[in-house]
Structure 1
Amino acid sequence: MPAEATPTTLTADRGASSKTHFPLDVKFPVYSVAWTDDHTVVLAGGGGSSRTGVKNRLSMYSVDLKQRQLSLKQEHELSREEDAPMTIAIDLETKALAAGINSSATELEKGVNENLRVFSFAGENIEYQKRSSTLSSTDPDHYQKVTAFSRSSPKMLAVGSTNSQLSLLSYPDLRDVCPTLDYNGEEIFDADFNDDGEMLAGTSSNKLCVWPTKVADSSTVPEPLQVIERPVLKRELACTFRAAKFGRKSTASNLYTVVNAAPSGSVRKPPAGSKKAFVSLWDARAWRLLKTRTVSQKPVTAFDVSDDGTLLAYGSSDLSIGILDAVTLRPIVTVLHAHDFPVTSLKFNPSGSILVSGSADNSIRVVRVPSADQRGGNSATYMVLFTLLVLVLAILIQQSFGEDLLRAARQAM
């Protein structure tokens, strides 16, 4: 079946009621999203090695919020014999793009899976650079699920897979910093470096460990700096981790965790509202839980932190996406039906002014993020407003009832 041509311009319906967000049909399943600059987004996905006619690709688009439009700048077509790119990460400093792409079935049968691919980008060009293997498994059901660059120098790359392996690599040589970190048979859901690159948080459903990235002996598995236990809400609820990310810049000392709760297998008739997902804020210096907020009545499937550390974003299997204040966990934006399938990936642009989410339903959702002035106040702002309101009321009371109050006070003396 011939591949369908990629549209060069995607324009949202101008009759849509919302002016702050809009969906676009990109004609292929989107598994990962990243930004090369404030107005250029890369969408990764495709049909895999199946003969569906949906090609595997890295598509670079310019985003025009005013026109509600995406324009194709370049499309890097990938092999139809290999898997679709399931995860990508971009480092703006080195102009590098790392992707997780399983090798062809023929190569897997030979025991070879060069799952980690590195590309460079400059202007409107995405160019292949090299490949490497971090997966010990050649099972086609196992793949690279998580990719993350460190934000400091020297550069490092974290790669997590569905077969329980978390690899910490130096970049650009892709050498192991330490032996593979094993997660007891559980797929890796998330990996993230803190701002100075000295800690790496790796997350599976039942295991959240914070690892040191500076190790004295590269042949020895390091001891985790911190292990965060799964919360226990009620006996009938089973809690699992979905994500863990450090804050950035102003919130660099924070760690944000996402936990999904669902009725355990022993519960025959789960009570109403027993499914939920919540985001927790931790002090990453004292490792103390500071606050928690329930964000969805169904599991969260994707999570991101803005580059300035002020915003959090999540996608839920109830098909919604939301944006939270990173300090108060207060909701700022909620889009109830963002996609027809659950969100596979979402990402803020570098300035935090745009959020793009992707899904396997062939769609993306572009969200205009409210500016700091439009988000409403934080708790300090509310306190100032409350104080001003009290002063205004006091003045009004004094003007309206001041004489009566004074007279009553004199009579009481």
Structure 2
Amino acid sequence: MSRNRCDGLLARVDFPLYTLQTLTNRHVIVAGGGGASNTGVHNGFEIFELSHNGTRFVAEEVMRHETGPNVVMTCAVRNLQNRTYLTAGQESHCQLYKINMKMVDAAEMRRGSFRAENGLVRRRRRTVSENDNISKTDRNSNTMEKRISFEIRPCDSVQTDFSDDPLLRVVRVSHNGKLMATGGFDTKVRVWSFPKMELLYVLEGHSKELDDLDFSPCDKQLVSIGKDGQALVWSMTGAREPLLKITCQPPNGNKYLFRRCRFGMVEDREGEHRMFSIANPLSRSGRQRGLLQAWDSAGRLVRVRAAGEALSALAVRDDGRYVGVGTMYSGSVDIYVAFSLQRVLHVKNAHMMFVTGLEFLPVRGRGPGLHSRSDAALLSISVDNCLCVHSLPPRSTVPAWVAIILIVFVLFCTFSLCSYLGI
């Protein structure tokens, strides 16, 4: 086990993980499962609360909700009018859940005296490695504070894919919480009202199954990508034809297919956004090198960076400052500066298998943030059942007094050299 992987391990669950979302600035929900086959592998969600003990990030299990025979392949979370909604892709259907939050005594949660919706009493437990220690002072200080507990209640369910072998591949909810978009094997993008989940219209433009969807930060546009090699940008103001049709533009002329897409804010430019995508070569011969690409609002390619291997996951931080990618074969994770696509962190072999999901800890999210020494923190999951965190160290700066001393020293050396040479 590499040093990076050991340092980043937050939790292990007993089922493969396919999707994750942040619920608050301190809570994350992961989901997956083994499917309907009788393998003994569970399907469902787990919620973890994150904290930082001054040395590293720590995760504690809050609750678990099992979904019976239905594996969860994709999910989306949206806070709307003081209510939290969770949408989950389960085979051909999209299941809506309400997540009820309440403040309870921390000691009560540790005793396990709270109850999950499925009736299973879940004892709050630590899920990090045994060598992670919390000081006695921290433990005593937690006994009097209030903590958030969660209850997941199933609500409506709608069929979202109507192919011969239906499967919902991706679900996304708009930032204002009014729209939901779904895509799957039948190649169609369906737009629904949210949270009523009433079908509004169908967007047809792809010829093969959908891989990803995302709403722009202002919710005026929706991007969809499919295995037909296209990224289509749709207007959410009523037009039924795509505004833009984008194809991958690799530098070497080989054919590439988009894999994931995400919109992101342009840092320090209010209202402006940029689209990021990852793409992999269509040919499977030789060593595959994926691409990370940045596009402007007009669909023009702005930046491109080649990765060492094929890519599988993509995330953009909520302030638009950083982009994270996960790899297909080595399970590695990288963080890039969004503006320049300069790589600032590489975690080799973060997982034992391909990365299935990434999510940055939010800086503008709900509730108090985590206090840590890192400039950014990226969560990652994989089918190796692990939830990991990867911290970007803060950018080092030279104190002013050190800079002044260096300047004086350089001037002194220059004056001495000039005097010695008689200049």
Query: Normalising by the residue count of structure 2, what TM-score does the alignment of the two structures yield?
Result: 0.75
Which of 168, 172, 194 in structure 1 is aligned with 2:195? Answer: 172
After superposition, residues 13-412 of structure 1 pair within 5 angstroms as 21-22=8-9, 24-66=11-53, 68-80=57-69, 83-93=70-80, 94-102=83-91, 113=92, 115-123=93-101, 124-139=150-165, 142-152=166-176, 155-185=178-208, 187-205=209-227, 206-215=229-238, 222-234=240-252, 237-248=254-265, 250=267, 252-261=272-281, 264=283, 270=286, 275-284=288-297, 286-294=298-306, 296-317=307-328, 318-351=330-363, 353-370=376-393, 374-375=394-395, 395-396=411-412, 398-403=414-419
Please give the per-residue CA displacement for 1:174-216, whole angstroms capped at 9, x wherever unaligned. 233322434102x222111111100001112301011001106
Give the SS at the match of 2:195: coil
Please give the per-residue CA displacement for 1:103-152, whole angstroms capped at 9, x wherever unaligned. xxxxxxxxxx4x1111111221111111111111251xx41121211113
The whole-number CA distance in structure 2 between the counterparts of 1:403 and 1:152 is 70
Give the aligned residue type for 2:66: E
Q: CA deviation at 1:354?
A: 3.3
Give the SS at the match of 2:290: strand
The whole-number CA distance in structure 2 between the counterparts of 1:24 and 1:208 is 35
Per the alignment, residue 6 of structure 1 pairs with: none
Give the SS at the match of 1:358: strand
Please give the per-residue CA displacement for 1:10-43, whole angstroms capped at 9, x wherever unaligned. xxx9x96778522532111001011111121111
The whole-number CA distance in structure 2 between the counterparts of 1:388 and 1:194 is 46
The whole-number CA distance in structure 2 between the counterparts of 1:390 and 1:164 is 63
The whole-number CA distance in structure 2 between the counterparts of 1:360 and 1:395 is 59
Q: Number of paired residues?
A: 352
**Contact residue 29 and residue 46 of structure 2 kept, 8 A:** yes
The whole-number CA distance in structure 1 between the counterparts of 2:185 and 2:296 is 29
Change beyond 3 A, Cα 1:71–1:395:
same
Give the aligned residue type for 2:221: M
**Contact residue 255 and residue 283 of structure 1 kept, 8 A:** yes
**Contact residue 178 and residue 215 of structure 1 kept, 8 A:** no
Give the SS at the match of 2:210: coil
Give the aligned residue type for 2:386: S
Give the SS at the match of 2:314: strand
Q: CA deviation at 1:90?
A: 0.6
Give the aligned residue type for 1:122: N
Deviating beyond 4 angstroms after TM superposition, the runs of 4 or more aligned structure 1 residues are 15-20, 387-394
Q: Which moved more, 1:38-47 or 1:159-168?
A: 159-168
The whole-number CA distance in structure 1 between the counterparts of 2:4 and 2:245 is 46
Give the aligned residue type for 1:279: L
Give ranges in structure 1 of 5+ residues lacking alignment. 1-12, 103-112, 217-221, 382-386, 409-413
Q: CA deviation at 1:255?
A: 1.3
**Contact residue 28 and residue 363 of structure 1 kept, 8 A:** no
The whole-number CA distance in structure 1 between the counterparts of 2:85 and 2:417 is 69
Give the aligned residue type for 1:31: Y
Q: CA deviation at 1:280?
A: 1.5
The whole-number CA distance in structure 2 between the counterparts of 1:68 and 1:229 is 40
Please give the per-residue CA displacement for 1:84-112, whole angstroms capped at 9, x wherever unaligned. 0100111133411111002xxxxxxxxxx
Q: Greater RCO between the two (CA within 8 Å, min separation 6)?
A: 2
Change beyond 3 A, Cα 1:138–1:130:
farther
Give the aligned residue type for 1:244: C
Change beyond 3 A, Cα 1:97–1:17:
closer
Give the aligned residue type for 2:248: R
**Contact residue 188 and residue 202 of structure 2 kept, 8 A:** no
Give ranges in structure 2 of 5+ residues lacking alignment. 102-149, 365-375
The whole-number CA distance in structure 2 between the counterparts of 1:391 and 1:224 is 58
Change beyond 3 A, Cα 1:400–1:203:
farther
The whole-number CA distance in structure 1 between the counterparts of 2:5 and 2:19 is 25
Please give the per-residue CA displacement for 1:216-269, whole angstroms capped at 9, x wherever unaligned. 6xxxxx12111112224335x33111122111363642111212125x37x7xx
The whole-number CA distance in structure 1 between the counterparts of 2:396 and 2:226 is 35
